[in-house]
Structure 1
Amino acid sequence: MAFEKKVTITNETGLHARPASQFVKKADKFKSKIEIVFGEKEVNAKSIMGVMSLGISQGTEIILKAEGEDEEEAINKLESFIKTEMEE
């Protein structure tokens, strides 16, 4: 069963270029399959092209979804990264 959380993007530039790259690197550290759900789209959170294709801007609500042995840790760490560590 997957673990998921709704997260609002607070970064001024959204999830583009540098922040997207940082996010993907962070997601890639986990063994679980991790996806970002935005509207009708669902992409692999470990794919820079997939993440950037969503065009996620500041204030956007997304769903982070993970399935695998470290799913809960992955989502909690990625949520924390989005809220506190993501650079412009």
Structure 2
Amino acid sequence: MPESTAIIASRVGLHARPASIFAAAVGELPIEVTIAMEGEPAEDAMDASSILSLMSLGAGNGDVVVLRAEGEGADEALEALVKILETDLDAE
């Protein structure tokens, strides 16, 4: 299963607006994507398309998260999702 790491760039972390933007992007994909804090077991990963899961993750600015995806186009999808997380969505 492909995986990528991303550093949360939004000033307030993965909450409210950034979580909503990210969840919407994941929801448009035809594959399943999970997210977890770096160092957590893969089986504890959460559904990355769920705003509630993203907000309960508690990822703050500068934290590292691990994205995992399964299915055709997973590598490309992860690359696009990492770009979203590594953009300060609060500044836009």
Please give the TM-score of this superposition, normalised by the length of structure 1: 0.89
Q: Deviations over 1:28-72 (max 9, x none)?
A: 111111000114341000111111111110010010110011211
Task: Quote the Cα distance in structure 1 between the aligned partners of 2:8 and 2:62.
Answer: 5
Runs of 4+ in 1 over 6 A off after TM superposition: none
Work out whether 1:12 is the aligned partner of 2:11. yes
Which residues in structure 2 correspond to 1:8-47 (within 5 Å)? 8-38=7-37, 39-40=39-40, 41-47=44-50
Secondary structure of the 1:58 match is coil
Alpha-carbon RMSD across the aligned residues, in angstroms, is 1.2
Residues in 1 aligned to 2:62 and 2:89: alpha-carbon distance in whole angstroms = 15
Render the CA deviation track for 1:16-38: whole Å, top value 9, x for unaligned.
01100000001111111100011
Shift in Å, 1:82: 1.7
Distance 1:30 1:73 in 2: 11
The residue that corresponds to 2:89 in the other structure is: 87
Q: TM-score, normalised by structure 2?
A: 0.86
Considering fraction of residues, name the structure with more strand: 1
The answer to which of 65-74 and 32-41 deviates more is 32-41
